[in-house]
Amino acid sequence: MHRVTFVPANDKMEYFKLMSNHTIPSVGLGTWKSGSQARYSVESAIVEAGYRHIDTAWAYDVEKEVGDGIKAAIHAGVERTDLFVTSKLWCTDLTPERVRPAFENTLKKLQLDYLDLYLIHWPFRLKEGASMPPKAGDVLEFDMKGVWREMERLAADGLVRDIGISNFSVAKLTKLLSFALVKPSVCQMEMHPGWRNEKMLNACKEHGIHATAYSPLGSGGKIDLLNDPVVVKVAKKLEKTPAQILVRWALQRGTSVIPKSSNPDRIKENIQVFGWEIPEEDFDSLSIFKQQKRIMDGENLFVNETDGPFKSVEELWDYEDIPPLKIAP
Ligand SMILES: NC(=O)C1=CN([C@@H]2O[C@H](COP(=O)(O)OP(=O)(O)OC[C@H]3O[C@@H](n4cnc5c(N)ncnc54)[C@H](OP(=O)(O)O)[C@@H]3O)[C@@H](O)[C@H]2O)C=CC1
Ligand SMILES: CCCCCC/C=C/C=O
């Protein structure tokens, strides 16, 4: 039997304030590819390691397991109100009449009566049963305004405390802001030294939107950040691990960050990032990496060079993927 010992929240946990005046714990647990392990990862992250923020999505197919883990943590004495739970609306539900049923399904799987944050996962509407990457005809017209109105209604009805977006370009964010009655509190996007995403991060800052960094460790070696010589050098100098340096780097950029691990020791390691800092010169050395392609460039997910509505990564990202010339302050 899996046993955990209850400890209070990481007492050094820092929070960011959202434009709604709610707070988001600065470090959360990612759950993509956690599989059946998700239940134990979530429970031990909350109860043993002191996480208070869990990131999941319908598309990860782990909401039930995540919900079981949360339930176990609450059973161990953690208050629901101390937790911050995020999930995401998948592309096949990106039409107004499907938003609320999709949300209710997520809530049911998570065994919760409200979410802290609900995000539009990707800004593309897919036909039910679409192949990945989609073929011509698999991507349908996305009524962004209609969908956002339904997201706003979920918030107005008290079912979700904050609503937000993920994987938006600046062009799509600008469109959303032109009609949003409630602005997105959070934008989740890929950010790490190999893809700083400065253009989008600056756009978020300009509009008071909090940014959360996903794939902060390189997503399981898709970019080998954990063995990168600069990351390793800073880690050795500060007597930290490369993962801790990458998580801390994200925090020092003013973003929250959601490293995924299914390993109890690494889950603990990844949250030992408070009470110390990366000095400015080392922070700067991590902030000048040559900007490569995104990990989540949509290449296998959305781009279909021959028969798809998105024929290139550049097209998918509204041609905004030109590395910035200048590092944002
Ligand atoms: N909105 C979106 O479209 C997206 C959101 N996300 C969210 O962000 C989360 C994090 O991103 P993700 O792409 O999963 O990748 P991460 O960058 O968090 O990397 C996860 C990988 O790193 C390994 N790892 C974790 N901690 C350590 C450590 N201390 N030392 C060595 N290896 C480690 C994990 O293995 P192990 O489990 O064995 O420890 C796993 O293979 C996701 O789980 C998801 O919740 C991610 C992608 C897209
Ligand atoms: C149903 C396809 C699942 C792919 C999910 C892609 C998103 C990854 C991280 O959020």
What ipTM, to 2 d.p.?
0.99
Identify the residue whose tokens are 């790490």. 192
Return the ligand number nearest the Cα of 223: 1
Q: Which residues make up each annotated binding site for substrate?
A: 121
Residue 49, domain member (yes or no): yes
Residue 6, domain member (yes or no): no
Most ligand 1 atoms within 8 A of CB, residue of 261, 296, 317 to mutate: 261
**Burial readout 198-227 (b: 16 or more C-beta within 10 A, e: otherwise):** bbbbebbeebebbbbbbbbbbbeeebebbe
Quote the crossing angle between the two packed helices 170-179 and 198-206, to the nearest 10°: 20
Residue 291, domain member (yes or no): yes
Q: What angle do CA 227, 229, 233 make, to 5 degrees?
A: 105
Residue 325, domain member (yes or no): no
- Single pTM value for the model: 0.95
CA distances (Å), 44 to each of 37, 68, 186, in order? 11, 12, 26
Residue 3, domain member (yes or no): no
Q: Which residue in the list 15, 40, 51, 60 is annotated as catalytic?
A: 60
What residue numbers bound the domain in which 88 lies? Answer: 13-311
Residue 232, domain member (yes or no): yes
Q: Is the peptide bond before 101 cis (omega within 30 degrees of 0)?
A: no
- DSSP lists the bridge partners of residue 87 as 118
Residue 250, domain member (yes or no): yes
pLDDT tens, per residue, the chain with 329 residues: 444 444 556 668 899 999 999 999 999 999 999 999 999 999 999 999 999 999 999 999 999 999 999 999 999 999 999 999 999 999 999 999 999 999 999 999 999 999 999 999 999 999 999 988 888 899 999 999 999 999 999 999 999 999 999 999 999 999 999 999 999 999 999 999 999 999 999 999 999 999 999 999 999 888 899 999 999 999 999 999 999 999 999 999 999 999 999 999 999 999 999 999 999 999 999 998 988 777 887 667 888 888 878 888 888 889 887 654 444 44
Most ligand 1 atoms within 8 A of CB, residue of 56, 217, 245, 302 to mutate: 217
Give me the CATH number covering residue 137: 3.20.20.100
Residue 212, domain member (yes or no): yes
Domain count, the chain: 1
Ligand 1, residues at Cβ distance < 6 Å: 30-32, 55, 121, 166-167, 188, 214-220, 226, 241, 243, 258-263, 266, 269-270, 296
Question: For residue 288, how many other CB atoms are within 10 A of its CB?
Answer: 11
CA 271 to ligand 1 center in whole angstroms: 13
